[in-house]
Chain A
Amino acid sequence: MADSERSQIVDGIISALAAVSSLHVSETLVHWEEVPKQYYPISAFVTDHDENWDAFALFGGDAHDDVKSTLFFTVTCYCYRSDNDGRELRRLRTDLIRDVNAALEGGTTLMSLVLDMRPMRIVSDRGIVKNYSIFDMEFEADYLYAHATGG
């Protein structure tokens, strides 16, 4: 059986992020101190979590897309500077935010799998962790599937 649509979307997210220069991408989320230093200065971890479902069309046919699902996922980002230079950490952070957004919003393969993709918000550590900048980038992605086959 083919991969579920949700799984294909997560694969698409990871592939899109893998194209970001110098970015280490993984689905195995660990504490920032546990990330090997060769995976820095920037690392990102993708986690798909909650999902909402709504009827999208009359269920008159079994094989057409009649359910709209909104998948919530988070890209957890770690930036690291051994010298704890705040200005350089800010540059890493702001460049990474830009590049993650661009990769996800501009990825044609990924966008072909979803109806819409929306960056929702960033939740950050507010600079309290020495040597690191840590933040979550939260997204929503809408996709369609047929109720008879599942997402």
Chain B
Amino acid sequence: MAIKTYRVGKVLIEASQIFSLDNATLNITMGVGETTSIGDDWRQLVALGKQATLNLTCSYNPNDGQQSSLRTECLTGDGALSAVQMWEDASHYFAASAMLVTTCNITKAVGAVDKINFTLEAIGAISYT
């Protein structure tokens, strides 16, 4: 079946898989500039730069190597990652050669497992294989 589910796919942070991942969302957006003139019926837009943002939510496991490396990068490092890949199945993936860890959120709540959430912003282009 061509439709994919959570049963396939993974995220690699600098070539190693991040575990306990319960949500990975890749947003690819393009900035636009507006050139609409006063009196135009329809907006006029021109394409600006593209941007990719990867949002990851994991059940927090301080012993997971990739979770801890992202957390450490956010806290004490320069935030830069050399390679991030989001695999949609066993053979197709989006790849960024460089990303920045821009947010790290840790949540603790009654009746739920602890969660850690990261936002990664691509530096430059991402590719699809």
Q: A125-147: which have CB < 8 Å to B?
A: none
Is A64 in the interface zone, CB < 8 Å from B?
yes
With A56-B59, A57-B59 as contacts: A64 and B8 at CB distance below 8 Å: no
- Residues on the A chain within 8 Å of B9, using CB: 58, 60
Chain A residue at minimum C-beta to C-beta distance from B24: A58
* B20–A60 touching, CB < 8 Å: no
Tell me the total A-B contact number using a CB cutoff of 8 A. 34
Chain B residue at minimum C-beta to C-beta distance from A115: B113
* B8–A59 touching, CB < 8 Å: yes
- Residues on the A chain within 8 Å of B113, using CB: 115
Main secondary structure, interface of B, reads strand
- Residues on the B chain within 8 Å of A59, using CB: 6-8
Q: B1-52: which have CB < 8 Å to A?
A: 6-11, 17, 19-22, 24
Question: Interface on B for A, CB 8 Å cutoff?
Answer: 6-11, 17, 19-22, 24, 58-59, 87, 113
Question: Interface on A for B, CB 8 Å cutoff?
Answer: 55-61, 64-66, 115
Listed A/B pairs (17) with beta-carbon separation below 8 Å = A57-B21, A57-B22, A57-B58, A58-B6, A58-B10, A58-B21, A58-B24, A59-B6, A60-B8, A60-B9, A60-B10, A60-B87, A61-B10, A61-B17, A64-B19, A64-B20, A65-B20
